[in-house]
Amino acid sequence: MTMTSAISAPALPSPRPDRPLLKVCGLKYPANVAAVAALPVDILGFIFAPKSPRYAPLALDAAQLRMLPVAKVGVFVDETPAVIRRTALHFGLTAVQLHGQESAADCAALAEAGLPVLKAIAVGEQLDLARLAAYAPFCSYFIFDTAGPAAGGNGTAFNWELLRAYDLPTPYLLAGGLGPDHAAVLRELRLPGLAGFDVNSRFEQGPGLKDVARLRHFIDELRG
C-alpha cells in the first residue's frame, strides 16, 4: 500500500490559469481551522516545527483535520522521515512542506513514498536559482520565503524581482510578510512560475490564530 492510498486527503491543487492559489499557513486552533477552511482558500498549513510559536500538534484535532475537504500541508524543519510520515498519516496530510536545510535527496525520498513535497527556499539579498534544479523533479511546488531569524513566519518580504529570472518547470508560491495591504499589488503581479501566495503572520490575532475577517477581505481584493 502506498502512502497516498493510506491517507484520504484531497489532492494538492495544481496551478490554475484563472486565479492564484492561496495557502493560509500556521493554523493551530480547531474552531479557527474550521472558520478558515470555510473560506475559499486552496491549502491550509500546519506547523510541526517545535520551536515555532505556531507549533500545532498539541492543539489540533486530528479527526477534524482528516475530514476537512481542503488540501492540508504539514510544515517541518529538518525533521526525520519517520516522524514526517507518521505525522502525515495521523493528521491526514495531503503534502509536506520542508522548511529547513533538507536536500534534494530528502525531497525525493518523501515524494517517492507518496507524499507530495513543497520545498521552502529562504531568500536573502541574493537567490541562487541554479542550485534549485536538483530539487525540481521531486517537488510539487517551491515556496520562496524571506530568510530571517526564524525558519519561517518572520513577517518580512524579500525582493520579488529576484524571481524574474526563474526558469524551472516547478511552480511556486510566494511567501514572506504578505499582508492585507499587498492584495492590490499581488493581484497584478506576474512572475515566471508564480502559482500563488502563502500568507501567515500578517493575518494573525496571535500566534496560530488567524483573523478570518481580514483574510476574507484580502481574498475578495485579491480575486476581485
Residues within the interface to ligand LARABZUK (CB under 6 A): 25-26, 45, 47, 49, 52, 54, 75, 77, 99, 143, 145, 150-155, 175-178, 198-202
CB of 199 to ligand LARABZUK, least distance (A): 6
- Identify the H or E element spanning 63: helix 62-67
Burial class (CB in 10 A: 0-12, 13-18, 19+), 109: middle
**Considering beta carbons, is residue 26 or 196 the nearer one to ligand LARABZUK?**
26
**Considering beta carbons, is residue 171 or 176 the nearer one to ligand LARABZUK?**
176
Phi, psi at residue 21, to the nearest 5°?
-70, 155
CB of 202 to ligand LARABZUK, least distance (A): 6
CB of 213 to ligand LARABZUK, least distance (A): 18
CB of 1 to ligand LARABZUK, least distance (A): 30
**Considering beta carbons, is residue 5 or 205 the nearer one to ligand LARABZUK?**
205
**Considering beta carbons, is residue 81 or 155 the nearer one to ligand LARABZUK?**
155
Radius of gyration (Cα) for the chain, nearest Å? 16
How many angstroms separate the CA atoms of 74 and 52, rounded?
13
How many angstroms separate the CA atoms of 20 and 40, rounded?
12
CB of 77 to ligand LARABZUK, least distance (A): 5
**Considering beta carbons, is residue 85 or 119 the nearer one to ligand LARABZUK?**
119
Sign of the dihedral defined by the CA atoms of residues 75, 206, 64, 42, in that order: negative
**Considering beta carbons, is residue 68 or 173 the nearer one to ligand LARABZUK?**
173
CB of 63 to ligand LARABZUK, least distance (A): 24
How many angstroms separate the CA atoms of 108 and 91, rounded?
22
Instruction: Report CA-CA distances (Å) from 162 to 117, 125, 176.
Output: 23, 9, 14
How many angstroms separate the CA atoms of 164 and 157, rounded?
16
